[in-house]
Chains A and B, each alone.
Chain A
Amino acid sequence: MLQADVPVYTPATLAEARQLLQEPGTRPVAGGTDAMVRFKDGVWRPTAWVNLLRLRGELAYIREDGDWLEVGALTTFSELLASRVVRERAPLLAKAVRTVGGPAIRNMGTIGGNIGTASPAGDSLPALYALDAEVLVNGVTTIGIAELMLGPGRLKLQAGDLITGVRFRAQAPDEVCTFEKLGLRAAHAISLASVAVRLAPGMARVALGAVAPTVIRVPDAEAALVAGHAAAAAAAAQEAARPISDVRASAEYRRAMAGNLLLRGLMRMLGPNLVSPIGGDPR
């Protein structure tokens, strides 16, 4: 079958899209920044593409609902970055989104697509885990993001289900947060390891990216941070990581980085003097 022979349907409504996606072997495509690469490499060979472009009117939005924020699945990373609401009320997500690809990728890539691809290295996902995000499915039901993610590229969804948005509580004004990403260069880099951290009095959230089959939360690290033990938190992060070795990095290095990125994040948030020990001076 030629690539050009794969039909592309462009439904005008969510209902129509869901009906098309009932067909086994079909795949939704939004910005296409993951889909086109996987298609070209033969990793994804759907029987048909369901192009969601015409649903943007319905599914590209950023809404405030009291303490909650809701983001439509077709909202692009550039739109998230441009949003004052996101920058002020979900700064962790803004920090994470800023590290996605480069401007051209951020103009096309969507948050729904980042969730749907379900890569452990998806750069918005650790932030969403740390925000205890709920994913909207078919515009009606919600599912916790950790429950949704089953493994690399695997989601707890039925045929015909479509991710339509994601919602989470806005961050409190008194909390601090950071997203630390390690790639092989300054931009356009796939994460070797990443960590999203939120801290407030009595509260800590730690989510690790790219060091396990899915993004993971680290409850032991969170407990250690609440108790004020940075080194113990880093050790817990390393303990929790279950990384792989590939052409980009070894598992051993990724595991070490799960802890060190957490330390680096803590130092960046709190100042280096508040965090001790800081991971050692090699000299």
Chain B
Amino acid sequence: MTNQQTWIGKSVHRVDAPAKLKGEPVYMTDRPLENPCFGRVLRSRYPHARILRIDTAKASALPGVICVLTHKDVPGLNGFGIVIPDQPVLCFDKVRMMGDALALVAAETPEIAAAALDLIEVDYEPLPIVDDALAAIMPGSPLVHETGNIHLRTVIRRGEVAQAFAEAAVVVDHVYFTPRQAHMFLETEGGVGQLMPNGELHIWCPAQAAFRDRLQVARLLGWDPERIREYSSPSGGAFGGKDELTVQHYLALLALHTGGRPVKIHLSREESTVAGIKRHPFMVQMRTAAAADGTFLAQEAFVVADTGAYASLGGPVLNLAIEHIGGVYRFPSLNVEGYCVYTNNGISGAFRGFGVPQVLVALESNIDEIARRLGRDPLDLRRQNLIQRGDLSAIGNPMTTGVGNQAVLEALENSPTWKERTAKKAAVTDPWKRRGVGIGLCMQGLGLGKGIPDYGAAVIELLPGGKFKVGISIQEIGTGNQTAYAQFAAEALGCDVADVEVIQGDTGYSADAGTVTATRSVFTGGKAIQITAEKMVALLRSTGAESYAAAYAVARERGLETKVRGSFAWPEADEEIPGAFGLPHHIYGYGAQAALVEVDTLTGEVQVLEVASVVDTGKSINPMGVEGQSEGGVAQGVGLALMEDTVVREGRFLNANMSNYIIPTAGDVPKVETFIVEVHEEKGPSGAKGMGEVPIVPTMPAIFGAIYDAVGVQMFRAPATPERVYMAMMGDPSATEDTPALRARIAEGRRAGLAAQLHQTEGEGYAQPKGPEDEEA
């Protein structure tokens, strides 16, 4: 790629910015509607209960109510879920979480719809709940699903683990806990459904997987998917939280009963928090071994992920976490055992980072301790153990694509935050405050992984005047991919960015390119657009015209098709990792961060002053967009490390609105300096990889390392609230959760998990136990 490029690699202003800045109703929940009616969802009153009776008579009789629907009104499959359809559209036998849906109402006004919800009579028989993921594995735990509480167990072993630990000079062993982070997108889940005069069902709903949504809706309606059209872009933030169906299923059912009127649902913040997807809380017990010269010898981990009442993407989240359990480092031996379990704690699923931040904080914190115990510089110790291209990763994946860990480490080393850390730490203003600097390195698997169909596709249409329309299903969820797609198209077609209109997320126009998840949108969309653009260039040649404007005229005259399509398949690893569905990935993004924090020793408050954020993007398509994503990732990572947790006690939500669910304000977000590193990826479009998830991943360990550097205490539970930091500084024994009792429970959980898995999974298929070698666990 030595050619001079006009658009790729240039900082281009976002094509969607002007309308958004002016407050125009670009979002689908803001669209003005003609003669609308309003839908509401009846949620459960208990986190776990049998449903004895649902009576909708009084609600139906309320003036202004158009329809009241229950499970009896679901014509097709009463279940949904990206991997397995274990979540009822409308519950019928029991409820398993507070967010479970029992009935739907459409009414003339939102107030009448709310009043109708109060008139629906439901008799429940409350059931015992399980609200602790480790407890859910144990025998005798209440069962969330009759098939057992273990959704997935994954075990990967490599090398001579026992021998490595026996020969190690340093062994670090700790237990870490990460929170149920909420996505807190500005635009809560919502949308509009309407049965059109031509018999089609149209759904306008911000989402991340238009064609899969359409398929799921078709299944529950018992319809041909072709009769359904979903408009799913843009969205006012998603971060993974709109990857599952959010309200499309409710809109579809209601729209069949409103006489062709558009029906709108828009969740309140509280309902969004209770019913929506969250980041999986993890418990990670991690034991890491190193030789006296600093060489990493072995990594052992026991991981429990709380997926809540339904699977959603809990299995893939667990497996991606396990894939990254060794980070960017060589580990010749590995023993990792992970569980994804059901509880009555709401529901967890996709969230930027997808399990990796949860395990990386454990790994990087363990490495910091190894460095301290060996008297080594933490950055230098990391450098010594970096995976090189051609090495095997910790799980045994040959790293044959662009490996950027060396490059991001070097950029981090040269960043002012790291290089000038001594002076920056000494510049503390108040004597009761202490400053510290910490670092974190990460990689993040891109795309969906081995064995999972992963394709890209696009359409390009030639318009009068030589302009273009590009259609791709991947949505603009705020990441800037619409602008990147316009840049790819303009570069390949030889036109101006302003001459390209990008239509995203419309199943009636855009080609199915899969989801906007897994940091796959630049790679997928870029590649698909480049392949499709070649066909457009061929069309131009075939007309013999000098310009696209002239070509359009010729094509029309000759009756040529002016719309071209192209598609490709994602590259994937040659060998799968046995027993670990979807592993390994083939291409990885890399990141590194250094954080400078100031800790108030009187209160435990942590202020993050600055973060150096290094991202290996492959080729950066829009450097200004990369900076935006980097800053956003750090901000969300600061929230994860220091503030954010959806507190659920006995299945009930204690901080469902934004006065109690704390996210960073402008005053909490540090100065972020972004350093872009471009390790060319031969398989990517113009050498690009993508980077959307990467910048949230190293933030938490960098902050935890900085807290240690400042005040000498290691945090083991995120978020590191002022109270937790203060109690740890005071040496409060309750601040140390890693007690003999916890270790005994972990040991019991391992035994119970193995026994339950051997007993349970026969014929269920999602994941099979590995076999006799498990017995020593």
Q: Please determine whether A247 and B665 come into contact, CB atoms closer than 8 angstroms.
A: no
A contact residues around B713 at 8 Å (CB): 282
Given A279-B602, A282-B601, A283-B712; A182-B722 close (CB under 8 Å) = yes
Selected contact of A267 from candidates B430, B647, B664, B723, CB within 8 Å: B430
Q: Is the CB of A185 within 8 A of B655?
A: no
Q: A253 at the A/B interface (Cβ < 8 Å)?
A: yes
Residue pairs across A and B with CB atoms within 8 Å: the count is 81
| Contact between chains at B665 and A184 (CB < 8 Å) | no
Interface flag for B331 (CB, 8 Å): no
- Chain A residues with CB under 8 A of B666: 187
Taking the complex as formed, is B111 at the interface, i.e. its CB lies under 8 A from any CB of chain A? yes
Q: How far is the CB of B131 from chain A (nearest CB, A)?
A: 15
Say whether B603 contacts A278, CB under 8 Å.
no
B162, CB-defined interface residue at 8 Å: no
Residue of B nearest to A262 (CB): B602
| Residue pair B712, A184 in contact (C-beta under 8 Å) | no
B726 CB-CB contact with A under 8 Å: yes
CB pair B723–A253 under 8 Å, yes or no, is yes
A4 CA to B721 CA, complexed, in Å = 39
Contacts of B654 in A (CB 8 A): 247
A25 on the B face (CB < 8 A): no
Cβ-based interface call for B168 (8 A): no
Q: Establish whether residues A186 and B667, one from each chain, have CB atoms under 8 Å apart when the complex forms.
A: yes
- Asked if A65 is at the interface (CB within 8 A of a chain B CB), the reply is no
Cα(A268)–Cα(B722), bound, Å: 20
B-contact 0/1 string along A248-283, CB 8 Å cutoff: 111001001100110110011000100000111111
Q: Is the CB of A102 within 8 A of B665?
A: yes
Q: How far is the CA of A184 from the CA of B644 in the complex (A)?
A: 10
**Pick the contact of B432 from A187, A256, A279 — CB < 8 Å?**
A279
How far apart sit A280 and B600, CA to CA, in the bound complex (Å)?
12
The answer to whether A184 and B115 touch (CB under 8 A), given A263-B602, A278-B432, is no
Given contacts A182-B722, A282-B730, is CB(A260)–CB(B602) below 8 Å?
yes
Shortest CB-to-CB span from B286 to chain A, Å, is 26
- Cα distance, A184 to B661, chains bound together (Å): 10
Residue A188 interfacial (CB < 8 Å): yes
Judged by a CB distance under 8 angstroms, whether B668 is at the interface is yes
Task: List which B701-730 residues lie within 8 A (CB) of chain A.
Answer: 711-713, 721-723, 726-727, 729-730
Taking the complex as formed, is B660 at the interface, i.e. its CB lies under 8 A from any CB of chain A?
Answer: yes
Candidates A248, A272, A278, A280; contact of B660 at CB < 8 Å: A248
User: Are A185 and B115 also in contact (CB < 8 A) when A250-B723, A282-B601, A282-B712 are?
Assistant: no
Knowing A4-B111, A37-B659, A182-B722 are in contact, say whether A281-B601 is a contact too (CB < 8 A).
Answer: yes
- Within residues 40 to 96 of chain A, which ones have a CB less than 8 A from any CB in chain B? none
Q: Is B374 an interface residue (CB 8 A)?
A: no
Across the interface, which residues of A come within 8 angstroms of B664, CB to CB? 185
Is A182 a contact partner of B711 (Cβ separation < 8 A)? no
Is B712 within 8 A of A187, CB to CB? no
Known: A2-B111, A189-B662. Contact between A253 and B726, CB under 8 A? yes
Return chain B residues, CB-CB under 8 Å to A280: 601
Quick check: A282 and B602 within 8 Å, CB to CB?
no
CA gap between A253 and B729 in the complex, in Å:
12
How many chain A residues have a CB neighbour from B under 8 Å? 34
CA distance A280 to B112 in the complex (A): 59
Q: Is the CB of A141 closer than 8 A to any CB of chain B?
A: no
CA distance A94 to B664 in the complex (A): 24
Contact check, A264 vs B603: say whether CB atoms are below 8 A apart: yes
Nearest-CB residue, chain A, relative to B727: A253
A contact residues around B752 at 8 Å (CB): none
Q: CB of B754 within 8 A of chain A?
A: no
Report yes or no: B662 in contact with A185, Cβ–Cβ below 8 A: yes
Specify which chain A residues have a CB less than 8 angstroms from the CB of B430 in the assembled complex: 267-268, 272
**A183 CB to nearest B CB, Å:** 9
Q: In whole Å, how far is A251's beta carbon from the nearest beta carbon of chain B?
A: 11
Name the CB-closest residue of A to B711: A282
Chain A residues near B647: list those with CB within 8 A. 247
Tell me, in angstroms, the Cα distance from A283 to B708 when the chains sit together.
11
State the CA gap A247–B730 with chains docked (Å).
21
Q: Which residues of A contact B660 (CB under 8 A)?
A: 190, 247-248
Q: Does residue B392 face the partner (Cβ distance < 8 Å to A)?
A: no
Q: How far is the CA of A216 from the CA of B519 in the complex (A)?
A: 53
Which positions in A face B, CB cutoff 8 Å? Answer: 2-4, 37, 102, 182, 184-190, 192, 247-250, 253, 256-257, 260-261, 263-264, 267-268, 272, 278-283
Residues of B within 8 A of A (CB): 111-112, 114-115, 430-432, 600-603, 605, 607, 643, 647, 654-655, 659-660, 662-668, 711-713, 721-723, 726-727, 729-730
Extra inter-chain contacts (19) besides given A185-B668, A250-B723, A260-B603, CB under 8 Å: A2-B114, A102-B665, A182-B603, A184-B662, A186-B607, A187-B667, A192-B722, A249-B721, A253-B723, A267-B432, A278-B432, A280-B601, A281-B601, A282-B601, A282-B712, A282-B713, A282-B730, A283-B711, A283-B712
Residue contacts A-B, CB under 8 angstroms, 25 given? A2-B111, A2-B114, A2-B115, A3-B111, A102-B665, A184-B662, A184-B722, A185-B643, A185-B663, A185-B665, A186-B665, A189-B662, A249-B723, A253-B723, A260-B602, A260-B603, A261-B603, A263-B602, A267-B430, A267-B432, A272-B430, A279-B601, A282-B712, A282-B713, A283-B711
